[in-house]
Amino acid sequence: MRFSRAYIPTTKESPKDAQLPSHIYLSRAGFVAQVASGLYNFLPLGKRVLRKIENIINEEMSACGALEVDLSFVTPAELWQESGRIEKFGKELLRFRDRKDNLFVLGPTHEEMMVSIVRNRVTSYKQLPLNVYQVKTKFRDEARPRFGLMRAREFVMKDGYSFHSSTEDLDREFDAMEAAYKKILERLGLNFRIVEADSGAIGGTGSKELMVLAQSGEDTLAVCDTCEYGANVEAARRAPRSVFPEAPSADFSRFKTPNVKSIDDLSNFFHVDPYYTLKAVVMRAVYTEGSEPVCFFIRGCDELQEVKARNSVGAIDLVDISESELSEIGLIPGFIGPLDQDKIRFVMDKDTLNATSMICGANEMDYHFVGVDLSVMKDAVFADLVTVQAGDGCPHCGGKMEHTKGIEVGHIFKLGTVYSAPLKAEFLDENGRAQPFIMGTYGMGVSRLVAAVIEQHHDERGCIWTHATAPYLVNVMVSNIKEESHLAYAEELYNTLLSRGIETILDDRKERFGFKMSDAELIGFPFTIIIGKELENGQVQIMIRESREILTVDAENVLDKIEELRR
RNA sequence: CGGGGCGUAGCUCAGUAUGGUUAGAGUACUUGGUUUGGGACCAAGGGGCCGGAGGUUCGAGUCCUCUCGCCCCGACCA
């Protein structure tokens, strides 16, 4: 491509609405342009990057025997009514009617459609397994689109679905997909972690998220500094504690603790580590029908993890509760404890099971119990309720857990029969009995990956594309196109690079050196070959975008050098 | 959906508290000239329903009412 004939509208200033590096640089460098909230146009450079990512996905899927399809973006509402998701998705489904007044929705994901194409067509276990996928525009009418391409309403997703006759075969495919996804992200040149995720409302037997590590990630991850274990904090586990603070020695008694309400107060009052105190967190659990207050008891040194807490009581939401509501129930904030208490449903963190030497509220103003042995509570409900903190032990290898931020670019899921059963998608097994398909689903955010590459690879001058994602690998820049010999040399080099199958752009614009260099850095081509003054000495220069290092090489060696650098 | 902010040239923004010639700057664009290794300089140009509607007024970018859009925090997010 000749730059002079390309459409690459770069700007010196960032759009005022852009906050994230990916949004700023992708806009400034002319990869994308915003149309409306959560809607983006992909300009020529952006489209090239998108296609490169798609190609890599297609290659890896093909290597796994997955079959590409392309399902209608517009989907009949009946399918969504059948699965029950038309209510569940709510306003995120963009609905509209055609001229005959039939209701349709723009596909936000395609489980229903995908099930419908195999239903009644794949009818025997002999036809299984089957893995079909597409790379397709999706639309979710998000309540609040944000962060540029990271959370758009219209976006490109690779969504794959597998169908099996046994859970063992699903497990095999799930592992194969995890390996393929790992390979894709490696090829893209990304630093990522595969983490355990909250299975949440969907249920199923397992899900993993693929997280590109970046400061601006919306998800917080707990990862081991030694082994591969990592999990979304919503689902992270930790090893049991191995070192314990010094335990307070006190016989069980009721102790007057005037105005001692917080864990800090309590810890200071008794000069005891918060580990030996019991924290009460009361929230209102919201269910499909009705709600009730619930108290969660955890050690004073821990923090409540709301997703875990929500799962522990099967609620769809947990909301804050006011002090006046607490008073109505008869609980005294600051002095709530589990002993002799029947005013509220409660769940205890599993780390408090059989705990001794504890201090907890006495359910009486200005009193706490000390020397509490929680083994008396062994019949209570226990669950994992706490947030894994930095420094906690890894549940697998005993290494130290630390926190990091991630961008969710993929999510793979063992669905089981969650969709196939209600949609009555069945096959006949070896015994001639009808069984619902056992399914897996595998998603990857393609347009989000474009942004994720830049979130992870940029500097204050602009984009730094990885070799696999760059719109062009090499930029041949002519410092001054009025130097005819320079231009002629550059044209020849450009053609040679193209003939070797190296994606190259020729910056033949009538602009000054600094202007073109700034553009090259903003756009982020991995290599810019500068044809200029040095050519008089038979030399050219190669600017390596990542380090901004400039190599001076003999003109006759430039091809070899590029071949060497691209490896 | 709650809270906050912003809509003026392609882009980034002044101007709005206190209404008053022809609405500005930078940048981008066009033409001519000089430049040519880090976003050049000189000169001459084109470009605006001041988000939209209604109102107050002799007069509205500026005041009032309504509305639409965009961004941020939160709620939400297979």
- pLDDT tens by residue, A214-268: 988 999 999 999 999 999 998 999 999 988 999 988 899 999 999 998 899 999 9
Residue A323 above 90 pLDDT?
no
Q: Any idea where the domains of chain A sit in the sequence?
A: 45-236+403-455, 253-383, 474-566
Nucleotide nearest to A143 (CA to C1'): B76
Separation of CA A447 and C1' B27 in angstroms? 31
Tell me the Ramachandran region of residue A271: left when phi exceeds 0, alpha when psi lies from -120 to 50, beta otherwise.
left
Q: How far is the CA of A148 from the C1' of B8 (A)?
A: 25
Q: Which CATH superfamily is A45-236+403-455 part of?
A: Bira Bifunctional Protein; Domain 2 (3.30.930.10)
Return the pLDDT at A355: 93
Cα–Cα dist A147/A216, whole Å? 9
The CATH architecture that domain A474-566 belongs to is 3-Layer(aba) Sandwich (3.40)
Architecture in CATH of A253-383: Alpha-Beta Complex (3.90)
CA A510 to C1' B43, in angstroms, rounded, equals: 21
Query: Confidence band (pLDDT; 50, 70, 90) for A557?
Result: very high
Query: Which nucleotide's C1' atom has the smallest distance to the CA of A319?
Result: B75
**For residues A372-400, b (16+ Cβ closer than 10 Å) or e, as one string?**
bebeebeeeebebbbbbbeebbbbeeebe
Q: Is the pLDDT confidence value at A199 over 70?
A: no
Q: What confidence category does residue A206 fall into, taking pLDDT thresholds of 50, 70 and 90?
A: confident
What is the ipTM score, two decimals?
0.94
Between CA A12 and C1' B9 the distance (Å) reads 17
CA atoms of A69 and A232, how far apart (whole Å) = 31
Which nucleotide in the DNA or RNA is closest to residue A518, CA to C1'? Answer: B39
Q: Say which nucleotide is closest to residue A318, CA to C1' distance.
A: B75
A342: confidence class by pLDDT, cuts 50, 70, 90: confident
Strand A401-416 with A206-213, pairing: antiparallel
Q: Which positions ≥6 away from A399 have C-beta within 8 Å?
A: A224, A225, A226, A227, A393
Nucleotides of B strand lying within 7 Å of any protein CB atom? 1-2, 10-13, 26-28, 35-40, 69-78
Q: How far is the CA of A498 from the C1' of B32 (A)?
A: 38
- Taking the CA of residue A36 and the C1' sugar atom of nucleotide B22, their distance in angstroms comes to 35
Give the nearest nucleotide to A159, CA to C1': B78
pLDDT tens figures, A71-98? 999 999 999 998 888 888 888 999 999 9
Distance in Å from B69's C1' to A31's CA comes to: 23
Q: Which residue is closest, via its CA, to the C1' of B26?
A: A13
Q: Which nucleotide's C1' is closest to A534 (Cα)?
A: B37
β-bridge mates for residue A151, sequence order: A146
End-to-end CA distance of chain A: 23
